[in-house]
Amino acid sequence: MRPLRRRGSALKELPLVLKEAPVLSVEGLAKAYTLRRGLLGLRKELVHALAGVSFQIKKGETLGIVGESGSGKSTLGKVVLRLIEPSFGRIVWSGVDVTRLPEREVRPHRRRMQIVFQDPYSSLDPRMTVREIVGEGLTLFKLADRSALEDRVADMLRRVGLDPSMMERYPHEFSGGQRQRIAIARALAVEPDFVVCDEPVSALDVSVQGQIVNLLEEIQEDSGVAFMFVSHDLRLVECTAHRTAVMYLGRVVEIGPSARIAQSPLHPYTRALIASSPPHPRGGKGKRSLPLAGEPPSAMSPPKGCPFHPRCDKKEVGTCDVEAPRLEPAPDDSSHRVACFFAFET
């Protein structure tokens, strides 16, 4: 297995690609759910899953989205694909504003935006053969006629490291890693511009995780597809993504080149995530410290001011508990932005 490598500095190797128009652009994205509580469900409470998220992803780029459970990272992946409708904000796919388009007008564009789900056991229809699973999108979007379909499916299976002779088998006949390769083949068969990878390796054995990550990187180098790689593991994202966005309670609190964030984190939450991460996948010794104090606040009653201030050991009463900081660029690198009033103090 080829070892994982850091990709945060790889942006320097893609200057032409990254000057192109974004394949995905989101502005001020918000999502709130209304929950009914009480014996008769008469009491309504609002859950703020996303709050003002903005970023862009360009062709050939991977943006890592990292955070604790409940940070909103998986919701974000589904909202940008319009699998969940946004409450506010703007979503643009390759120059097409799809935010308020009716589904019948969004459908022709869906080929360009795909997803690989976390669980390869539940994301594949057990009643369908591999040929049917991988070929479904090709048929739906009229990318291959019946005579060419088998050849296209066989080619996709080879690209993800599977023998085409397996195409008549069913999902239960494969290992977890093989199932995830099938899911990747299904997503990439329709030649998308952008793929959300929602915790694509968290359900797999450690020995298989690196194989899947390396496969995604190889496919990206060959095709120029862009990825949004969602994970709770910041060390893994460091190896996988060109840039990293750290989310906390529905907000991006830090975003920038992955290598820079891993080596010089500015937000207290990012530093805590790194300190509590497992050893680096390449065999380094992970830094260790005391875990974050307490649990994340409830999205039904987010704290006033900075969402992280109840758990932050650097908060200042009268500032952090009053106003929420905005993302501001680092003095020495405008591509590295952080939402913290005291991030640049020495």
Q: Which domains does the chain have, with CATH numbers?
A: 8-252 (3.40.50.300)
The predicted structure's pLDDT at residue 6: 57
Model confidence at 164: pLDDT above 90: yes
The predicted structure's pLDDT at residue 298: 81
Model confidence at 332: pLDDT above 90: yes
Cβ atoms of 92 and 82 within 8 Å: the answer is no
- Torsion angle of the four alpha carbons 137, 139, 144, 145, in this order, in degrees rounded to the nearest 10: 170
pLDDT mean across residues, the chain? 89
Lowest mean pLDDT among 12-26, 36-50, 124-138: 12-26
The predicted structure's pLDDT at residue 36: 78
SS3 percent helix, strand, coil of the chain, rounded to 5, is: 35, 25, 45
Lowest mean pLDDT among 138-142, 213-217, 265-269, 292-296: 292-296
Q: What is the pLDDT of residues 84-114, one digit of tens each?
A: 999 999 999 999 999 999 999 999 899 999 9
Predicted confidence band at 81 (pLDDT cuts at 50, 70, 90)?
Answer: very high
Q: Is 249 exposed, middle or buried (0-12, 13-18, 19+ CB in 10 A)?
A: buried
Sequence-ordered list of residues with C-beta below 8 angstroms from that of 94, at least 6 positions apart, any chain: 21, 22, 23, 24, 109, 112, 193, 194
Q: Is 255 exposed, middle or buried (0-12, 13-18, 19+ CB in 10 A)?
A: buried
DSSP state of 282: T
DSSP state of 196: E
